[in-house]
A = this chain, B = another copy of it.
Amino acid sequence: MSRLSLSLVAALGGLSLLPARFAPETPLRGFTAASSQTERDWEAKLDAIPDPARLRANMQRLSARPHHVGSPYDSTNAEWILAQYRSWGWDAHIETFYVLFPTPRERLVELVAPTRYKAKLEEPTLAVDPTSGQKAEQLPTYNAYSADGDVTGPLVFVNYGIPADYDELARHGISVKGAIVIAKYGGSWRGIKPKVAAEHGAIGCLIYSDPGDDGYSDGSVFPNGPMRPAQGVQRGSVEDMPTFTGDPLTPGVGATKDAKRLAIKDSPVLSKIPVLPISYGDALPLLEAMGGPVAPRAWRGALPITYRLGAGPARVHLVVKSNWDIKPIHDVIAKLPGTTEADEWIVRGNHHDGWVNGAADPIAGQVAELEEARALGELYRQGWRPKRTIIYAAWDGEEPGLLGSTEWAEEHAGELQQHAVAYINTDGNGRGYLGMSGSHSLEDFINGVAKDVTDPETQASVWARDKARMAVAAADGGGRGGRGENAAGNGDIPIGALGSGSDYTPFVQHLGIASLNLGFGGEDQGGVYHSIYDDFYWYTHFSDTSFVYGRALAQTVGRAVMRLADADVLPFVFTNLARTATRYTRELQALRDQRAASIEATDAAVKAGDYALTSDPHEPTLAPATEVPPPQFNFAPLLNALDTLDAASARFEKAYGAWSRAADTADAVLHAVNADLLRSERELTSANGLPKRPWYRHLLYAPGFYTGYGVKTMPGIREAIEQNEWSDVDAQIARVAAALTREAALVNDAAGKLEAAK
């Protein structure tokens, strides 16, 4: 198929509400006309299999009891999942690792001055919600990997607890040294909060869910509505995942029974200070007791109080003590064997462990994965044979720190780097729009998949619905960036870049395996994340209640897996990667200029005495610290590399187009081309990893060192600029340039092979 007709399809898809079945039958990317028709036929069969009733029944089964790491029901679920795979004809087994997983034995939060209040630290049983009363099996509310401690100090409110918040506190002359900070959930991954607090000298950290973020502000609270009730608490890990993920004691290697382990005191990823999550019911008396300057407008939540910064007069006594146990985790690993390309693996996963009953997180995604597996097993039974080997995984231990996926990826690093084409992740599911993030060489591919899946609410494609959302956002925003402007040049919807927060991290960022993360959401909201109320009752009242989006997820990911497994030429499209890398580069150039303008303006204002002149004597403020402005950086190597990659990508598209029209290339040539393509994401990594965190090897995508989940693209360069490490920037630019140059060479090599075959 020519590029022209591809564009035409994209344009028609964008303007029309026609369901995919009426679209002209152009061959799927990576397929010949004939193999495409076969693929479409099998995909149509796939669509018919996932069953909302089974999704519902499986969710009820898997979320019936708390199933966190080390719990009886966690093992039970793993065994049950294993049995399911086997019953569908998969070659399945359980792989067990042994990980550090602390659970609390003592928790105390009490206000000791100027008044007294002892925090409840307990989510109440609700009569209407049958699983909310399983107290004996529930993990208490806590943050895994908190330091043990017994501390008392004045309370300081730090907003979301990111570095900029401490700059603001400094302007008010407020230090957290020797203090206990209270931070809102949100604005960053939770593990950043105690990490940054400890860096600033705090001795303890409380994290609470403000009702302005996921409580009554957004809707009625559970059980009347989906939002977080007054005593609802978000559990969660505070392992320093931006340093590495997985078992804190076995960085870089699988946590097998006899793996070499760090002593607990030597693990660099445990919180340095005690930290506990609390509800807004428990936070209210603490915040109300605070004095000091009124918090900036942007810091305030939805509690009916004057938010103040402190320090004090509120003083808090905080105790956290844990049982620091090693627990087993149970990954379920299942294979469908490939035929001609059995050594090329398509890996797909979703975790099965939850913090408590975990219906939305992760079971909504786990049941979709199970329905995919059942469907693929059924198609296999009917005679479908994937070219490539398919590996389905149900990870354990995601919640504490992507333990199951990381340990498995580390244990199998060599073979994965040799064999893995791609990793596709999900992690729960909701109602609404298809969220797509991942490696940009797969951007065009996943757009193509989304065009062929029907949205259950509108009967349009899920792709058309995403596109409509972009158009509406642009129109409602005044028309800046429309359908055309927001889209990638070929009409594809731009996909997000991967930061962290789910099991794709060891694959894409540690091993350099092209990855995607998918899931529906954006309609309905919720405030039960990581609480006892994330359960079957909540999900079936307030989320994808009819499980039609669970079916759509199984149809989407199942289709993606099949296409990758069946394609003649792996559907990597590097023009999307080149375009995205160019955008990142422009952002970084602009970032330098912004940093320069900001630092220079601040410096000038400090020197002119402007901050002194604008300090209110009734509530004095201090000038910000002055900084050295950035020099100009040498972006030339990166711009040259982008030119090279642009040219290589265009050459490959041209060669692909010729192959697509002729489709008479020998299998051996295609095998050699695919062998190149399979390695393409590896070229974007560096064995030395990122500065200060060598475990993270991808040079384009990483979780931010100070955002946690939020992605930093071209992180070596970006974080050097953000953190004023001017002398590192040119070297980081050179590393990214070298990676993109290697990528261009690989793409050229693949293009050359395709051309030579003509």
Q: Interface on A for B, CB 8 Å cutoff?
A: 14-15, 17, 211, 216-220, 225, 227, 294, 297, 300, 302-307, 431-432, 457-458, 460, 464-465, 467-469, 471-472, 474-476, 478-480, 482-483, 523-524, 594, 596-602, 604-605, 608-614, 616-618
Contacts A217-B300, A469-B613, A482-B601 aside, 13 further interface pairs with beta carbons under 8 A come to A14-B608, A302-B304, A304-B304, A467-B610, A468-B608, A468-B610, A471-B601, A471-B604, A471-B605, A475-B605, A478-B594, A478-B597, A483-B608
Residue of B whose beta carbon sits closest to that of A293: B219
Shortest beta-carbon distance from A202 to chain B in Å: 25
Which of chain B's residues has its CB closest to A606's CB? B475
Residues in chain B near residue A604, CB distance under 8 A: 471, 475, 482-483
Can you name 15 A-B residue pairings with CB atoms under 8 Å?
A17-B609, A218-B294, A219-B294, A225-B306, A302-B302, A465-B613, A467-B610, A468-B605, A468-B611, A472-B610, A472-B611, A475-B598, A475-B601, A475-B610, A483-B604
- Name A168's closest neighbour in chain B (CB-CB): B476
Residues of B within 8 A of A474 (CB): 601, 605
A482 to B608, CA, bound (A): 12
A541 to chain B minimum Cβ distance, whole angstroms, is 12
CB pair A460–B613 under 8 Å, yes or no, is: yes
Nearest CB of chain B from residue A450's CB, rounded to whole Å: 14
Contact present for A216 and B304 (CB under 8 Å)? yes
Chain B residues contacting A598 (CB-CB under 8 Å) are 475, 478-479
Q: A479 near B601 (CB under 8 angstroms)? A: yes
**Do the beta carbons of A306 and B597 come within 8 Å of each other?**
no
Q: Are A475 and B602 in contact (CB under 8 A)?
A: yes
B217 in contact with A306 (CB, 8 Å): yes
Contact (Cβ within 8 A) A211 B304: yes
CB-CB under 8 A from A618, the residues of chain B are 431, 523-524
Q: Which 10 A-B pairs have the closest CB atoms?
A: A479-B601, A479-B597, A468-B610, A468-B613, A475-B601, A304-B304, A471-B610, A475-B605, A475-B602, A479-B598
A597 touches B472 (CB 8 A): no
Cross-chain contact A617 with B217 (CB below 8 angstroms): no
Task: Please indicate the chain B residues that have their CB under 8 angstroms from the CB of A432 in the complex.
Answer: 616
> Is the Cβ of B614 less than 8 Å from the Cβ of A472?
yes
> How far apart sit A523 and B618, CA to CA, in the bound complex (Å)?
8
* A219 near B610: Cβ-Cβ < 8 Å: no
Measured between beta carbons, the chain B residues less than 8 angstroms from A306 are 216-220, 225, 227
Most chain B CB within 10 A, of A14, A467, A472, is at A472
| Residues of chain B contacted by A523 (CB below 8 angstroms) | 616, 618
What CA separation (Å) do A303 and B305 show in the bound complex? 9
Contacts of A211 in B (CB 8 A): 304
Enumerate chain B residues within 8 angstroms of A605, measured Cβ to Cβ: 468, 471-472, 474-475, 482
Give the Cβ gap from A224 to chain B, nearest Cβ, in Å: 10
In the complex, A631→B217 CA distance in Å? 42
Interchain nearest-CB distance for A597 vs B (Å)? 3
A483: chain B residues at CB < 8 Å are: 604, 608
* Chain B residues within an 8 Å CB radius of A294: 218-219
| A297 and B479 alpha carbons, distance in the complex (Å) | 21
Nearest CB in chain B: distance from A303 CB, A? 7
- Which residues of chain B have C-beta atoms less than 8 A from A617's C-beta? 457
Most buried by B among A219, A524, A605: A605
Roughly how many angstroms separate A475 CA and B480 CA in the complex, as a whole number?
27
* Chain B residues in 8 Å Cβ range of A596: 479
Cα of A475 to Cα of B594 in the assembled complex, Å: 11
Name the one of B304, B597, B609 contacting A480, with C-beta atoms under 8 angstroms: B597
**Cα A613 to Cα B462 with chains together (Å):** 10
Closest B residue, CB atoms, query A307: B217
A639 to chain B, nearest CB (A): 25
In this complex, which of A216, A302, A523 has the most chain B Cβ atoms within 10 angstroms of its Cβ?
Answer: A302
* A225: chain B residues within 8 A (beta carbon): 306
A471 to chain B, nearest CB (A): 4
- Decide: A216 near B305, CB < 8 A? Known: A610-B472, A614-B465: yes
Complex alpha-carbon distance, A478 and B612, angstroms? 19
Give Cα A458–Cα B467 distance, bound, in whole angstroms: 56
**Complex: how many Å from CA A14 to CA B604?**
12
CB distance from A119 to the nearest CB of B (A): 19
A179, B617: Cα distance in complex, Å = 48
User: Interface centre among A304, A599, A616, A617, by most B CB within 10 Å?
Assistant: A304
Chain B nearest Cβ from A655, distance in angstroms: 35
Tell me, in angstroms, the Cα distance from A15 to B609 when the chains sit together.
9
Q: Which of B17, B304, B478, B613 contacts A458 (CB 8 A)?
A: B613
Find chain B residues with CB under 8 A from A482 CB: 601, 604-605
A307 to B227, CA, bound (A): 14
User: Which chain B residue lies CB-closest to A14?
Assistant: B608
Contacts of A468 in B (CB 8 A): 605, 608-611, 613-614
Q: What's the minimum C-beta distance from A454 to chain B, rounded to whole angstroms?
A: 13
- Residues of B within 8 Å of A464, CB to CB, are 613
Residues in B whose Cβ lies below 8 Å from that of A14? 608
Q: A601: which B residues are within 8 A, CB to CB?
A: 471, 474-475, 478-479, 482
**Residues on B with beta carbons closer than 8 Å to the beta carbon of A458:** 612-613
Residue among A465, A601, A618 with most chain B CB within 10 A: A601
For A525, the closest partner residue in chain B by CB is B294
Q: Which residues of chain B have C-beta atoms less than 8 A from A610's C-beta?
A: 467-469, 471-472, 475
Q: Please, how many angstroms separate the alpha-carbon atoms of A721 and B587 in the complex?
A: 34
Instruction: Write the nearest CB–CB distance from A608 to chain B, whole angstroms.
Output: 6
Closest approach, in angstroms, between the C-beta of A528 and any C-beta of chain B? 16
For A220, what are the chain B residues with a Cβ–Cβ distance below 8 Å? 306
Question: Closest approach, in angstroms, between the C-beta of A270 and any C-beta of chain B?
Answer: 36
Most buried by B among A217, A294, A613: A613
Q: Closest approach, in angstroms, between the C-beta of A251 and any C-beta of chain B?
A: 38
A608 touching B471 by the CB < 8 A rule? yes
- Is B600 touching A479 in the complex (CB atoms < 8 A)? yes
Q: How far is the CA of A657 from the CA of B515 in the complex (A)?
A: 72
Residues of B within 8 A of A469 (CB): 610, 613-614
Instruction: Name the CB-closest residue of B to A459.
Output: B613
Considering the chains assembled together, what is the distance between the CA atoms of A220 and B288 in angstroms? Answer: 11
CB neighbours (8 Å) of A478 from chain B are 594, 597-598, 601
Nearest chain B CB to A217's CB is how many angstroms away?
A: 6
Residue of A294, A460, A480, A614 with most partner-chain B CB within 10 A: A614
